[in-house]
Amino acid sequence: MTVEITATHRLHDGALRYCKHVSASTGTPMKFTVWTPDGEGPFPYLVWLSGLTCTEDNFTTKSGVYEHAARFGIAIVAPDTSPRGEGVADDPAYDLGQGAGFYVDATQAPWAPHFQMYSYVTKDLLEAVDGAFPLDPARRGIFGHSMGGHGALTLALRNPDLFKSVSAFSPIVSPLNCPWGDKAMTAYLGEDRAAWRAHDACALIEDGAGQSFDDILIEQGLADSFLENQLKPELIEAAATKAGRKITVRRQDGYDHSYFFITSFIGEHLAWHAQRL
């Protein structure tokens, strides 16, 4: 799989590349960024999954992550949130279609042919970046925000062989139990809610997935307007308690759902992953 580098910027004593490649899973070109520190590597790395409406650019320009990545010598990979472009299905709403892939493999029309973001991230993206950059696949973690927090949690829980650490900001912890989840999972996976369990962090914990994670760190702002209706971190705390698993939810007074929240705590998440990678 060939990776085309469309732009390079020097950033915090390392190299940031904007990249493009063709994904076999989505059947489309896909974009992502990769930052590595100076040096030969191979470097431990974190995959960041973004939230609704984001491209590969939002986290790259707004998170302030690279200063901390440089401090810990951790590389960062940030993909787009869905296939895009002509011939790819879309919806006028911000929470479905392009920019809203939800990190699942769609089975329903019109989404099925291209919306294969679960396979894209876990196979095509990892294969591409591991092949093209000095990254250490044995020291790989994952994190994300909102829809991307859901993606990080579910991809990690299902693939503890691929990811050694996982954290999330303001994640959708249970698509089975919120309006965003209802809408997206119905559209992508169909009416049979049993099929949604493989993409629901709470259900995965109930079902015993990803036992090898010693802890999962969740950061949640208490002024987040989606907290009560969509995010509901108490559901994953309850699932963890029931399963005898450790999940740490840190509730932060006054912080909202924006990148201003993410950037305020991204350094602490890097430190947390650094201990595990």
> Which of 255, 270, 272, 273 is the binder for a copy of itself (CB under 8 A)?
255
Does 196 bind a copy of itself (CB under 8 A)? Our answer is no
Which residue number, 103 or 265, has a Cβ lying nearer to a copy of itself? 265
Contact string 6-35 vs a copy of itself (x = CB under 8 A): ---xxxxx--x-------------------
Which residue number, 196 or 259, has a Cβ lying nearer to a copy of itself? 259
Catalytic residue numbers, as ranges: 146, 224, 257
The span of 45-53, 56-64, 84-92, 153-161 binding a copy of itself (CB under 8 A) equals 56-64
Q: Is the preceding peptide bond at 233 cis, omega within 30 degrees of 0?
A: no
Task: Tell me if 35 sits within 8 A of 13, measured CB to CB.
Answer: no
Q: What are phi and psi of 107, to 5 degrees?
A: -115, -10
The span of 95-103, 118-126, 139-147, 260-268 binding a copy of itself (CB under 8 A) equals 260-268
Does 244 bind a copy of itself (CB under 8 A)? Our answer is no
- In the complex, what is the shortest distance from the CB of residue 253 to a copy of itself, in angstroms, rounded to a whole number? 8
Q: What's the distance, CA 53 to chain centroid? A: 13
The torsion region of residue 267 among left (phi > 0), alpha (psi -120 to 50) and beta comes to: alpha
Does 53 bind a copy of itself (CB under 8 A)? Our answer is no
User: What three-state secondary structure class fits 161?
Assistant: coil
- In the complex, what is the shortest distance from the CB of residue 94 to a copy of itself, in angstroms, rounded to a whole number? 19
Rounded CA gap, 243 and 246, in Å? 9
Does 93 bind a copy of itself (CB under 8 A)? Our answer is no
For residue 37, give every residue at least 6 positions away whose Cβ sits within 8 Å of its Cβ, in sequence order, or none: 13, 14, 43, 69, 70, 73, 75
Does 268 bind a copy of itself (CB under 8 A)? Our answer is no
Task: Tell me if 220 sits within 8 A of 251, measured CB to CB.
Answer: yes
β pairing state of 14-23 and 28-37: antiparallel
Contact string 208-237 vs a copy of itself (x = CB under 8 A): -------------x-x--------------
> Which of 67, 127, 182, 206 is the binder for a copy of itself (CB under 8 A)?
67
> Which of 32, 59, 66, 163 is the binder for a copy of itself (CB under 8 A)?
66
For residue 55, give every residue at least 6 positions away whose Cβ sits within 8 Å of its Cβ, in sequence order, or none: 31, 80, 81, 99
Rounded CA gap, 71 and 74, in Å? 8
Q: Is the preceding peptide bond at 42 cis, omega within 30 degrees of 0?
A: yes
Q: Which residues bind a copy of itself (CB under 8 A)?
A: 9-13, 16, 61-62, 64, 66-67, 221, 223, 252-256, 258-261, 263-264, 267
